[in-house]
């Protein structure tokens, strides 16, 4: 279960890196029209990365306290993720409902950076994140073996 959680966490992180890279490359950190607050994005990233490091140390050291520390770190990561999801959904819906012929030329610079997130990556990131939280909790509870 520990290794399964590690694998899902790494897959989640890869999707998150892709989304973060897309957001940064489209000017998300510079403010502009992004609906995702910079502290929320970087807080989500930093806590998730710290939690992953703690989880790796747990897998190597097999100390129960580290499993719980990683899980506790995942709680605010998940909350921040839900905040970003809630702020992203209207941006995605606006993008899906706007007819292509009503978007003026050059309007791409005025759209939020997160509008460029591929739906499949967002869904996979969220799915693997939920799976990671569940596996980490089960491991911390010593359910399912190591």
Q: What tens digit of pLDDT does each residue of 7-60 get? A: 999 999 999 999 999 999 999 988 778 999 999 999 999 999 999 999 999 999
The contacts found for 76-84 with CB under 8 angstroms, 24 or more apart, are 76/43, 76/47, 77/44, 77/47, 77/48, 77/51, 77/129, 78/129, 78/133, 80/40, 80/43, 80/44, 80/47, 81/44, 81/126, 81/129, 83/40, 84/36, 84/40, 84/41, 84/44
Residue with tokens 């930093």, as numbered in its chain:
46
pTM for the full predicted model: 0.87
Structure tokens at 6: 């590690």
Averaged pLDDT for residues 104-123: 81
**Is 97 a residue whose pLDDT tops 80?**
no
Task: Look at residue 103 in the predicted model and tell me its pLDDT.
Answer: 47
Structure tokens at 28: 């998300």
Task: Look at residue 101 in the predicted model and tell me its pLDDT.
Answer: 46
**Is 89 a residue whose pLDDT tops 60?**
yes
Q: Does residue 85 sit in helix, strand or coil?
A: helix
Task: Look at residue 100 in the predicted model and tell me its pLDDT.
Answer: 45
Alpha carbon distance 15, 21 (integer Å): 10
**58 CB-near residues (< 8 Å, 6+ apart):** 2, 66, 67, 69, 70
């Amino acid at each position: 279960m520990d290794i399964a959680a590690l694998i899902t966490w790494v897959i989640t992180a890869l999707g998150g890196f892709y989304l973060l890279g897309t957001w940064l490359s489209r000017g998300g950190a510079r403010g502009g029209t992004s609906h995702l607050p910079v502290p929320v994005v970087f807080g989500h990233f930093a806590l998730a990365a710290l939690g992953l490091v703690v989880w790796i140390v747990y897998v190597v050291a097999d100390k129960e306290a580290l499993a719980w520390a990683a899980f506790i770190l995942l709680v605010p990561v998940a909350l921040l993720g839900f905040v970003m999801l809630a702020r992203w959904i209207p941006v995605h819906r606006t993008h899906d409902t706007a007819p292509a012929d009503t978007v003026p030329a050059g309007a791409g610079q005025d759209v939020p950076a997160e509008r460029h997130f591929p739906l499949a990556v967002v869904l996979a990131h969220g799915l693997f994140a939920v799976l990671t939280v569940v596996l980490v909790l089960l491991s911390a509870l010593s359910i399912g073996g190591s």
